[in-house]
Amino acid sequence: MNRILKFLIRFGLLIVIISIIAGSVGAGILYAFYRQLPYISLESYRQSVNSRIVDEEGRLILELFKDENRTRRVKLIEVSKYVTDAIISIEDRRFYNHYGVDFVRILKSLYVDIKERRKAQGASTITQQLARNAFLTLEKKWSRKIKETMLAFKLEHQFTKQEILELYINEVPFGEGSYGIESASQIFFGKSSSELVLHEAALLAGAINAPTAYSPFRNYDRSITRRNIVLRAMLDNKVITEEQFNQARESVPELVGRKRKLCAAPYYIYSSLLPELREKYGESIVMSGGLTIQTTINKDIQQIAEEEFAKAEIFERHPELNGAVIVLEVKTGKMLAIVGGKKFEENDQYNRAFNALRQPGSMIKPIIYLAAFDNGIPPNKIFSDVPREYFDPWTQTIWQPKNYEGRYHGPVILRMALENSYNIVAIELLKEVGIRNVIEYARKGGINSRMRETLSFALGTYEATPVEVAQVFSTFANSGVKVDMSHIIKITDHNGIDIENNQYSASRVFPATSTAILNDCLEGVVRSGSGTRGRIPGYTIAGKTGTTDEFSNAWFCGYTPNLLVVSYFGYDYPRHIEDHASGGRIAAPVVKNIMERIFKKFPERFPPEKFIEPENMVKVNICRESGLTATDQCQFKIEQIFHAGTEPKMNCNFHDPFGFDMSESGNLDMNQLKDFFTIQEKNTMLSPFPESYNRNTNSEVPVKNQTPTSLDKLKNELKFFETTD
């Protein structure tokens, strides 16, 4: 008996020792796991949330997410009560009665698994699922299950049940790439989670267990069966009535599905905006940091620009042709629409509006004329538009530039040369003003691309982007004040705090007086010159066409004091489009259509306005042929703005040789007469035709003694043509 007692005592001690050792080891292991648990608090927990790109009015353009589509985090009180009732009923009926781990459910699940001889039921609580989804990896290891259980206790200790449930409904995946109830509600039903009805909430709750298997888009019948199981669980849990159960079970869900419609301004968003933001803030913050990026894009205006650009007639004949459009609010510098190409595709995301370096052609001429007006050359000065030869120091060859379609017009005033885009006059004016001086004006206006000091600069043979062209012309439209163009208004973080807020900056770069003269001339381009296809009745529109050599690029910019639209057409690898493919024919109609629709849709924002005329300017009715004060005998007249003191002092004698101004004494002012003929002879006799040029046929045949002896003789001998660019 003593021996048995001693054995039992010794065996008991051994069991105690083993238990102590095992307990110590187990406690050590558990402590090691505990130390690996992440720090959690409502303050430190930052759930990834979709970033949003919106237009100037806050309307959604595109929602961004990296791997998990989370529309936004919602408060529990914002969500339909059917959602929480359904989730608790099917996922964790004893949610309010356990402390993170439901031991009753574990035992029941174990019994069912043994009975079914398979894993038939899960036992994870909502708290455990939150721990797994929000704070741990999804690796299937026993160590993760231990951490999950321990973390569930920690969550229950630190958070209230309502806080846990709110975190859960914003974290859990529902399928179709949606994470969180708001994202799922939008993708499945196209509505907010606050608007979900009973049968919709039950369908979403049913998908949590196996998002792919119970997706109504992939397995409709299976998802409906699962939904009805959720409804039965809700009935058993006494959160709905029998009547609600029967009605919901018979309901047919109206599924929306993920909308894959291309966003507005895709070239701008994907090729320009997102790369810029990623470089500045990083991929993770941009895609899932809950940012709101408010752009200057207006969705309505963007749609107008995209539609009218796509409808351009030239695309019917040349489907591979491409181009760009920019719509700008002049006074604020807002880029309201950016069309970077004809059709955005995976293999074509090249934003031509920002990145296409193309020769602007005659679009450069207004800069030359502005520099001339600003340096004392009046818009009525006469230049000779005749064939000429120039030595090109870059190629060491003789350069023979031509006008559009080889047509020449003899002596013309600068205004008419600009209206009709005469090349020879632009070159001669560039020589007189100075190439370096003109390039400086171009830099001030906003052209940053490389420009060479050659006479061909007058024909736009350097390269610029559409956005640079828009910047320069917007400065003209704004009376010489350059407003830096912008495409981002502000960026806020997930808490609504501004992290970037862009205020437009403006500075005067050109004198208002010289700019007013230029705008006056460019109004004539649209009214009666190369840009007549851009006219809109009731609106004062200025503009300029641009056509490059071999008809490879076609441009037009039309603008008012408050709205500017520039369009460009050309192949990505520049080549001949077609004969007569000028900016006036191809690009101007598109600009007109865009502006016309914008004026109609936003009459208060873009009312008819006239360009500013500074006080120290005078307006004179001049003869379009002589540039002098018009008389009754002048057939073609135009009102022209001048710097005060530079306006013509004599009446036109081109049509009335006795039309000179008289002095106060009533006698003819001979000094005026002498000055007039000196100017005219200088501009005609010193610019003779080359001997090989036939004035009557425009052909290269020997013609001798072609130096004109007077203005009248030259004009009578020359054949005049209209030009489009």
Q: What residue segments make up the domains of the chain, in order of their start?
A: 1-36, 75-249, 617-717
Q: Per-residue pLDDT for 347 more than 80?
A: no
Mean pLDDT of 345-369: 91
- CATH architecture group of domain 75-249: Orthogonal Bundle (1.10)
pLDDT at 459 (0 to 100): 94
pTM of the full structure: 0.72
Please tell me the least confidently modeled range out of 68-77, 144-153, 271-280.
144-153
The 10 Å Cβ neighbour count of residue 501 is 11
Q: Per-residue pLDDT for 82 more than 90?
A: yes
pLDDT at 49 (0 to 100): 77
Ramachandran category for residue 446: left, alpha or beta (phi over 0 → left; psi -120 to 50 → alpha)? left
pLDDT at 65 (0 to 100): 73
Q: Is 391 exposed, middle or buried, given 0-12, 13-18 or 19+ CB atoms closer than 10 A?
A: exposed
Q: Under a CB-based contact definition with an 8 Å cutoff, are residues 259 and 63 in contact?
A: no
Give the pLDDT band of residue 94 (cuts 50, 70, 90). confident
The 10 Å Cβ neighbour count of residue 258 is 13
Give the pLDDT band of residue 527 (cuts 50, 70, 90). very high
- Alpha-carbon distance of 495 to 293, in angstroms, equals 13
Q: Per-residue pLDDT for 118 more than 70?
A: no
H/E element, 337: strand 334-339
Please state, for a pLDDT cut of 90, what percent of the chain lies above it: 57
The CB-side HSE value for 365 (13 A sphere, CA atoms) comes to 35
The 8 Å CB, 24+ separation contacts for 369-372 are: 369/414, 369/418, 369/429, 369/518, 369/521, 370/441, 370/476, 370/510, 370/514, 370/515, 370/518, 371/433, 371/437, 371/438, 371/441, 372/414, 372/429, 372/432, 372/433
- Alpha-carbon distance of 358 to 352, in angstroms, equals 10
Q: Encoding tokens for residue 459? A: 């024909």
pLDDT at 658 (0 to 100): 53
Q: Kindly give the interhelix angle for 220-236 and 242-249, rounded to the nearest 10 degrees.
A: 180
Please tell me the least confidently modeled range out of 207-216, 336-345, 378-387.
207-216
Of residues 520 and 497, more confidence is placed in: 520
Mean pLDDT of 445-457: 91
* Tens digit of each residue's pLDDT (9 = 90 or more) over 500-510: 999 888 999 99
Read out DSSP for 395-451?
Answer: TTEEE----GGG---EEEEHHHHHHTT-HHHHHHHHHHH-HHHHHHHHHHHT--S--
* Tens digit of each residue's pLDDT (9 = 90 or more) over 176-230: 878 889 989 988 998 999 999 999 999 999 999 888 889 898 889 999 999 999 9
Please tell me the least confidently modeled range out of 228-237, 353-362, 514-523, 652-661.
652-661
* Partners of 392 in the β-ladder: 397
Written as one letter, the residue type at 565 is V
